[in-house]
Amino acid sequence: MTKSSPPVIEDSIKVLHVNSDFTYYDLLEGLTATDDVDGDLTDQIMIGEFSSLGEDNSASYNCVVFDSDGQSSEFNRKMVIDDYAQPRIYLNSPLLFYQIDNQSSIPREQFFALDKIDGDITERLKFSGDTTDFTHLGDYSLTASVDNNFGDSVSYTFPVHVRDKASPLYITLTQYVVYCSRNATFDPMRYVKESSNDLVTVQTPYDLSVRSNVDTSNPGVYEVEYTLSSETTSVPAITFLVVIVLE
């Protein structure tokens, strides 16, 4: 018995443009598959592996279809992710530790990573360059890196601080890592959520000061230090915000 010719996959779009929230069905748009015996096999097309992402936010992926004789055809299709953004690394609390707590290592659960396409990729985080000595007061660093399923990776070196003891005062921020576009306006007070200062009275004056080295004209990792002092205690409250200025 003579077998039919392999099925044929055709693409009416040529280069597919999608957003980061694309679905499996979006990847099938404009594709058709036919066979001279089975007829229309479009609903049998399967999506295979993706390539790494190119500089123009483009990638390619394989499409494959089988006919009733078990013959297959493959098609390599180009796609562009119009709103693509690199993975991002965040902190759920500042990298601030106190010598009195006898800390032995930086809790990795302070970090989490998100990607517009892959979602939560925290389990892919890797760490290196940890210089922190919790027995000595000072400023240290830790590098965190992560990659997504398109092979795009980011790596940032985060400041780490060891101080002598905590304050009875407090400062909490809305977030502890902020990403800024180049040349964007940056206001550090925007990220102060709550502090002892919110309970201010005539008898208990507080002073909230901010020290920042953020330069949004130059991509890099920066930091803002918030200090809240009071006449009622000799130990001010301190917290930190990491600011990452993107290329």
pLDDT in tens, the chain (247 residues): 556 788 999 999 989 999 999 999 999 999 999 998 889 999 999 999 999 999 899 999 999 999 988 999 999 999 999 999 999 999 999 999 998 888 889 999 999 999 999 999 999 999 999 989 999 999 999 999 999 999 999 999 999 999 998 888 889 999 999 999 999 999 999 999 888 765 554 455 678 899 999 999 999 999 999 999 887 788 899 999 999 999 8
Distance of CA 184 to the CA centre of its chain: 19
pLDDT for position 59: 95
Of 135, 166, 197, the residue at which a domain comes to its end is: 166
If you ran DSSP here, which 8-state letter would residue 188 be given?
G
1 within some domain: no
58 within some domain: yes
pLDDT for position 205: 60
120 within some domain: yes
2 within some domain: no
125: which 2 tokens?
């985080």
> Are 150 and 196 part of one and the same domain?
no
Give the separation between CA 203 and CA 101, rounded to whole angstroms: 32
Give the separation between CA 186 and CA 189, rounded to whole angstroms: 9
pTM of the model: 0.86
CATH number, residue 89: 2.60.40.10
